Amino acid sequence: MINKYLCMFLLLCLTAAPAFTQRKTSARFDPDGSFWIHGDPPADFSEFDSINLNAKRVKYLGPAGLRTRTTFHRYKTLVVKRDNFTFTTMTVRGVFYTFSGKFLKGGVYGAGDLDDETPVLEGTLTRFRDGKKVAEANLKFVYFGGT
């Protein structure tokens, strides 16, 4: 009788093992925070301030969207995945932005040891005015989690 129960237990453990292994290998990804251009911005983006992700709506991070020195653009569309970060903003005074890129590092950004010198995001930022492309740049961004 013991052998029957032991065999059933071992069979149960073997069939459940892949599910436990899968949970351990899939790391959590959470890039909430602000992203600033690494280095000096190109002339066409001199008024750019930050790209803000704030899924948890933490007050010190500010609302989710793209900020310039004079305007704030909420996201119209947004995809946040490690290998696919894209957005289009709402139009403000005839201007909207698009971004297509990827994160260079996984993990939970707010809990990590990220500094303001190491890029963690790269991609193409494009500005449109009245529906026409007026500026585009391939950029790298550093992370800021707030204080």
Domain of residue 44: give its range.
33-144
Query: Is residue 85, in this structure, part of any structural domain at all?
Result: yes
* CA–CA separation, 145 and 143 (whole Å): 7
Query: Is residue 28, in this structure, part of any structural domain at all?
Result: no
The two three-digit tokens of residue 96, written as one number: 């909207």
* Backbone angles phi and psi of 4, in degrees to 5: -65, -45
The pLDDT value recorded for residue 77 is: 98
Query: Is residue 86, in this structure, part of any structural domain at all?
Result: yes
Q: Is the pLDDT of residue 98 over 60?
A: yes
* Backbone angles phi and psi of 31, in degrees to 5: -95, 20
Q: With contact defined as beta carbons under 8 Å apart, do 62 and 85 qualify?
A: no
Number of domain units in the chain: 1
Query: Is residue 12, in this structure, part of any structural domain at all?
Result: no
Query: Is residue 9, in this structure, part of any structural domain at all?
Result: no
Query: Is residue 118, in this structure, part of any structural domain at all?
Result: yes
Q: What is the pLDDT of residues 47-89, one digit of tens each?
A: 999 999 987 776 767 789 999 999 999 999 999 999 999 999 9
